[in-house]
Amino acid sequence: MIWYGIKAPLSLHSQKLGNGSVVQLVRMPPCHGGGRGFESRPVRKKALDKQGSFSFYPMRNTPYALLLLALLMAVAPLKAQLIDLDTIYLNGSATIKKIKETGRNITVLEKEQIDKIPGNSLDEILRYFPGIDVTLRGPAGTQADFSIRGSTFQQVLVLIDGIRMNEPLTGHFNSYIPVLKHEIQRIEIIKGAAASIYGPDAVGGVIQIITRKEFPLETKKQLGGEFKWGEYGLIQQQLYGLWENKKTILSLGGERLHIDGQPLRGTKGFIENSLYSIQFAKKLKQNWRLQFRAAADKRHFNAQNFYTSFLTDTANERVNSTWQQMALYKLTSKNEVHLLVGARQLQDIYTFRPGVNPNQNETQSLNVDFRNIKKYNNAKTKWTLGTQSFKKKIRSNDRGNHAHQHVGIYSTLQHQPLSNLYLTEGIRVDWDQSYGWIMVPQLNISYIRNKFIWRASIGKGIRDADFTERYNNYNKTRVMSGRIGNPALEAEKSTTIESGFDFFPTKTIQLHVTAFERIQKNMIDWVNTPFSKMPRQVNLVSTGLYALASNIANVNTQGIEFDFQGTHSMSPTQSISWIFGATTLRYKATDSLSSLYLNASANFIATAAVQLQLKKGFLAISALYKRRPGNSSNNFTVPLSNTLTLFNLKAERTIWKKKVNGFVQLENLFNVSYADFLGAQLPKRWLVTGIRFNFQQTSKVAQ
């Protein structure tokens, strides 16, 4: 049964009616654009216990879910997805480490897989990773929010080669990853807390993009690219060049995307994006190596109902950013030294509708990480000691001018006390300008026995409010209604416990199962607050409707996730690979206040895909099923449904000498009309075709 919320700030709590029904005050999402007012939303009935806690009832399965499960044995990406835990190495512990030793559930996507997953952008590709929920506001890289294990989008840390790139203005911009597809060597998803190494924001998990390459033994010259044409006026071009030898790597590339867009309310969902990057790496004397990357990213897009649910919303947005990173490191058999530096500059101009002054924000961030790794006992024992600092600034006509600093010291010990037992103990001490000193410990355990690996982990996490949550609408002369930042917000703190196993019944089949629980304090959300209770009233009006950023609840998130994958060869040139992943979540909150994050997050998500590799090409199918527990509908022409099922298809064939390939891609195969968040409409069936080419010349280097 569906109940409607109240369209006025009459109460800060859910209300129990005489007939036992529950209605809620429903808030709009956090908005860096500063949307105005509130809307009533349908909310799913909840159960309140005697202490006022609430939990979501699981929703019934749909025929789509059964169809997805029926495709299990026919669906999944790529032969290389079958991870060899003895040979795949991970940077998630701030040093290279075999996955089987980490005690964590980790998903890895290799370079050769990325081209074979249907999608027009990196966030669309990540959407089909097991265990990660990608909420799209627009297609083809327009904007997306990342969630891992039911976290909010601000609780996922994004790294490029170990350097944090989370945007201090708002977590909505964390999906603007300034890396071209050809630069990516692999993508690592670390599920669960990782703050003891990487610091704040690594609460739900970490997404790490690896671009660092090993120096080849031969000299290689490469010219490649991709051209796409499709419905909705899509034109996408990518061109790159690569030159490398045993001492030097140089890569240049650029990409442009134009989309006229799907029809929207009185407009079209246009997109104009461009990204240019350069990468240089040099092998120096005495085992020292240097890597440098720089990128310029420009985006202009229709942002209708990205941050508000008003029918008057005809917003557009421009987001321009530049990125620089440098890594200087030395690798020997007994010692490693790493110096990592990353800097980002961003300009955001958000216009709610014509005639309204735009919000203009400029941010700068600088991150520095230095670590020393000692190796003992033939590298079976590794001790890491490091320090990290970052500084962020904002200049804004909406939020004002502010600066923030953070420093941390961390240490980890990786060792093997028994032949089959691996331990990683980590401790971190942080000082933050907002919350002062804090200690963040972590313990990971991995035990290997025949075809089983048992693993467990416990760790703490912390996240401070971003500039939008602290200062939204603070610098405006008069705010008639909307979201108001709160400088007094306390940091979110959490403890995550997980345990699971990996089972390898054959050499070609793997099963990974993990149960986890995250206990979180001081969750930040936007709460409908009457004028009389606003802590700062100087630029507000007594008749206005406001949402105040507040620490609203202590939230307990429990879940189980599993990944099941395999690959089967039919001939020397033909194989089929499949993967299925599913995560089920249960939320409990000690506060009876309704939470947008809990209501909008999926409480069950399943991804599945299959790749049929042929002699001269491949056929790939991806599928996504998502179920939301609570406030998952709205009163717009594009409903935010409680369940969502999508299928994508991609077929590719060699055209000329395995150097030029042609492909066709069909997204949203069954033409579903849907919005993934608020009323931001996403495209229906979308046909795209194109060519991909790669010309390479290799010559041996004289010894």
| Of the candidates 111, 96, 92, 101, the residue with the CA atom closest to the CA atom of residue 162 | 92
- Give the pLDDT band of residue 96 (cuts 50, 70, 90): low
216 DSSP 8-state letter: P
pLDDT at position 36 is: 38
Q: How many CA atoms lie within 13 A of 183 on its CB side?
A: 32
pLDDT at position 554 is: 85
Question: What pLDDT, in 10s, does the model give residues 643-698?
Answer: 899 999 999 999 999 899 999 999 999 999 888 877 788 999 999 999 999 999 99
Question: What pLDDT, in 10s, does the model give residues 35-88?
Answer: 433 333 333 333 333 333 333 333 344 444 434 443 443 333 333 344 554 444
pLDDT at position 115 is: 80
| Average predicted confidence (pLDDT) for the chain | 83
Question: What pLDDT, in 10s, does the model give residues 533-569?
Answer: 999 999 999 998 888 998 987 889 999 999 998 889 9
CATH of region 2-700, choose from 2.60.120.590, 2.40.170.20, 3.40.470.10, 2.40.50.1020:
2.40.170.20
Q: Is the dihedral of CA 200, 206, 210, 212 positive or negative?
A: positive
Query: Residue 113 pLDDT more than 70?
Result: yes
pLDDT at position 89 is: 46
Residue 594, helix vs strand vs coil: coil
Does 130 or 175 have the greater pLDDT score? 175
Share of the chain above pLDDT 90, in %: 59
Query: Residue 182 pLDDT more than 50?
Result: yes
pLDDT at position 370 is: 96
Question: Residues 375-401: what's their mean pLDDT?
Answer: 92
| Of the candidates 677, 680, 606, the residue with the CA atom closest to the CA atom of residue 646 | 606
- β 674-675/681-682 pair status: antiparallel
Question: Residues 225-233: what's their mean pLDDT?
Answer: 96
Question: What pLDDT, in 10s, does the model give residues 309-335?
Answer: 778 889 999 999 999 999 999 989 899
pLDDT at position 348 is: 97
Question: To the nearest 10°, the Cα dihedral for 624, 630, 635, 641?
Answer: 20
Question: What pLDDT, in 10s, does the model give residues 420-467?
Answer: 999 999 999 999 999 999 999 999 999 999 899 999 999 999 999 999
User: Which residue intervals of 389-434 are DSSP H helices?
Assistant: none
Instruction: Give whichever of 51-55, 210-214, 423-427, 587-591 has the largest mean pLDDT.
Output: 423-427
By the 8 A CB rule, do 220 and 232 touch?
no
Question: What pLDDT, in 10s, does the model give residues 260-290?
Answer: 999 998 889 999 999 999 999 999 998 999 9
Torsions phi, psi of 679, nearest 5? -110, 20
Does 368 or 96 have the greater pLDDT score? 368
Q: Which two tokens stand for residue 482?
A: 């909307």
pLDDT at position 160 is: 94
In sequence order, the 6+-apart residues with CB closer than 8 A to the CB of 629 are 44, 56, 57, 58, 59, 587, 598, 599, 601, 603
- As a whole number of Å, the end-to-end CA separation of the chain is 75
pLDDT at position 111 is: 83
Residue 140, helix vs strand vs coil: coil
pLDDT at position 59 is: 37
| Of the candidates 241, 228, 243, the residue with the CA atom closest to the CA atom of residue 281 | 243
| Of the candidates 629, 682, 687, 686, the residue with the CA atom closest to the CA atom of residue 136 | 682
Angle CA 106–192–86, to nearest 5? 25
| Of the candidates 630, 589, 586, the residue with the CA atom closest to the CA atom of residue 604 | 586
